[in-house]
Each structure stands twice: as C-alpha cells, then as structure tokens.
Chains A and B, each alone.
Chain A
Amino acid sequence: MSKKLFFMYKNPDYVVDGIRSALGQAVENNYAFGAVLTDMPELDEHNKENVDWIRDMEGEMYSTVPSVCEKNELTPITLEELGKQLRDMDLVIPYGIK
C-alpha cells in the first residue's frame, strides 16, 4: 500500500540527493513530500525537473526559506503549516542530519 512520506532537509549538502531520494520513493508508488529548511544553491535544470516529477506523482517540495522558494521554484510553507502536514504522514524522514 502506498505511504505518505515527508523528507526534511536541514543540511544544504544533502538537499539535492535528498530530493533524488524522494523522487525514488515517488517512483516506488509512495507519495513523496519534502521541505528544505536551509539556504542552498540554485538547483540545476535536471534537479528542477526532478521536483516537477515529484509533483506529477502527487507529491510536493516545499521550503520555509523565501529565497530558496524563489530561486528553486519550491512551494512556500510556514512552520505552522509544515507541522499540520507532518501529522498526515506515515513516515517523517530527517535526511542527512549532522
């Protein structure tokens, strides 16, 4: 049965691979969501396409950082909204905490 997964990215060194990992789970017929909680460089076109794929498969990629939303075309989310989203998830995955 498909599960709702939420990836949390706090370390900029892990964001790109973490998005790839979320896409991998979307391909595995799970619902993949994620939130970037840190500043990070601009994604290249390949990785922006990965975000689009996640959306095509009924997932979403958010950020709490306005500048990250703007340069990477991620969906803005507040901490309060994020908290509500997490309550609906089957699994919350902190990705690459250091």
Chain B
Amino acid sequence: MANSLGIFVTNPDNMQHIMGVTKAAKAKGIKVKVFFTWSGTKLTQDPAWSELVKLADDVSICADSYKKMGFNVEDVPEGLTTEKMATQAQHGDIIENYERYMTL
C-alpha cells in the first residue's frame, strides 16, 4: 500500500516517539497503523493514548499480551473495539501490506 507506515510497538517508554512519528506522517498524508504488543500494551494507559487513537488510521493491540501485562481483556481501551483486541496477525498485516515499517 503506497504512502503507508506501520509501527510495531514493544517498548512502553516510547509514546512520545510514536506520537511524533504519527503526527509527522499524517501531516504528509501517510496512512498510519500502530500495533502494540507485550509491554507496549501498557501504553493503553498513557495520557496520550486517546489522542493517538484519534490521529492514527488504525490502532490495535495484542490481547494476549494485554492480559499478560495484568489487564482485563474485557476492559477495552478507549477508542478500540473488541476486534482491535487482536493477535500477531495485525503485525503480519503491517509487514505484508504497508510500504514502510518501523519498530519502537
């Protein structure tokens, strides 16, 4: 998919970079998908989370990781739907379908 960027997030310390890259990409008209896994799912509790889900075109998380980080999978983070509480297939979607890839 032309003009698209997928961001794979494992690190809970990088929210400012996720936001910065997403804002910059959107300002250039680039489609952005962000997938959070393992301790990256802790960022669902970050104050910037609600802004990110409004800004990015697609945001999803690994439900299994979210559970392993101590969260209740029925407690769906703001801005997500149950189908966005997903599996590593969402990472696969970025790898297969997005023009650019980065991990944070």
* Residues in chain A within 8 A of chain B (CB atoms): 1, 3, 5, 13-14, 17-18, 20-21, 24-25, 27-28, 30, 91, 93-98
Contacts and interface: CB of A to CB of B under 8 A. Distances in A.
Interface residues of B, number: 18
A30 B10 contact: no
B38 A17 contact: yes
Interface of B: 8, 10-11, 13, 37-39, 65, 68, 87-89, 91-92, 95-96, 101, 103
A3 B104 CA distance: 20
Contacts, number: 52
A24 B103 CA distance: 16
A91 B102 CA distance: 10
A8 B100 CA distance: 19
B67 to A, nearest CB: 12
A58 to B, nearest CB: 16
B89 A28 contact: yes
A96 B38 contact: yes
28 contacts: A3-B95, A5-B95, A17-B10, A17-B37, A17-B38, A17-B68, A18-B10, A18-B38, A20-B88, A21-B37, A21-B88, A24-B92, A25-B88, A25-B91, A25-B92, A28-B89, A28-B95, A28-B96, A30-B95, A30-B96, A91-B101, A93-B103, A95-B103, A96-B10, A96-B38, A97-B11, A98-B11, A98-B13
